[in-house]
Amino acid sequence: MELNLRGRRALVTGGSKGIGLAIAEELAAEGAHVAICARNAGEVDAAAEGLRATAEVVHAQVADVTDPEAVRELVADSARALGGLDILVNNAGGAHPGNFETLTDEDWRADLDVKLFSQIRCTREALPHLRRSGAARVININAVYARYPDPSFFATTVNRAACLNLSKALAIELAGDGILVNSVNIGFVVTPQWENIRRRRAPDLSQDEFLGKLAAQEVPLGRFGDVREVSGLVAFLAGDRASYLTGTSIDVAGGMGKYV
């Protein structure tokens, strides 16, 4: 299937590892020019080095998406390096652990900042560039927990619901400008963040035992997903074959989530 991504200009936040890096690699393999950001400079450099093996143009920048000034610079510098922007993948994120009684106001604010406000800020800054593109896309990486409340990821489950609403409202708002906005909702996908979660929640189990137990409880397909199972869908949404898709919310979750 021809996605027509050759020469398209994509910014992937949180592109240094995990799902974000897989998305940047997939877009690069399709011929796109890619920009990535994250906070850890060494990991940003290593990811950029790997991407340069495939992509013609790579821009890598250390930036914290919770810092409005850093986001302004990130988007401006990425657009300058790539010659514009066609695709924004709002992927950067992380979990703030805790149940309702242990999460402080500060935890809630920090979680909202990295999930909801990062998507708001990056999209707002990217808009002038996306309006000049003939094939503009915003793809928001979200979680199945947006529609499937789970108190063991309390802040995530509440704040991801707001992200889902943001995607749909933006899709309606920006349709007239030809900017397509979609949400990709992750269930359980193996990435570095799961090692941190295991250390906190089940230090006595091996990673395989921990992931296997969670998957058996929650995932009809019985296993965690692989990052490549997310990146393929994102590339499809970024490409020309998805030209009539906006405001959609697609789960990549092996059937996880008890809702219709």
**CB closer to ligand NAP out of 93 and 239:** 93
Query: Which residues have a Cβ under 8 Å from the Cβ of 217 and sit 6 or more positions away?
Result: none
Question: Which residue in 80, 83, 72, 88 sits closest to 36, CA to CA?
Answer: 88
Paired tokens of 167: 């995607």
Residue choice 50, 68, 94, 212 for contact with ligand NAP (CB under 6 A): 94
Q: Which among 170, 174, 194 is positioned nearest to 183, based on CA atoms? A: 170
Q: How far is the CB of 178 from ligand NAP (least distance, A)?
A: 26
User: Distance between CA 74 and CA 130 in Å, rounded?
Assistant: 15
Distance CA 69, CA 4 (A): 33
Instruction: Return the residue of 8, 9, 17, 121 that touches ligand NAP, per CB under 6 A.
Output: 17
Q: Count residues binding ligand NAP (CB under 6 A).
A: 28
**Torsion sign over Cα 36, 84, 160, 211:** negative
**Binding string, 35-74, against ligand NAP, x = CB under 6 A?**
--xxxx--x--------------------xxx--------
Written as six digits, the tokens of 172 are 């309606």
Q: Provide the minimum distance between the beta carbon of 143 and ligand NAP in the complex, in angstroms, as a whole number.
A: 4
The pattern of x and - marking residues 157 through 196 that bind ligand NAP according to CB under 6 A reads: -----------------------------x-xx-xxx---
Q: List contacts with ligand NAP (CB under 6 A).
A: 13-14, 16-20, 37-40, 43, 64-66, 91-94, 114, 141, 143, 186, 188-189, 191-193
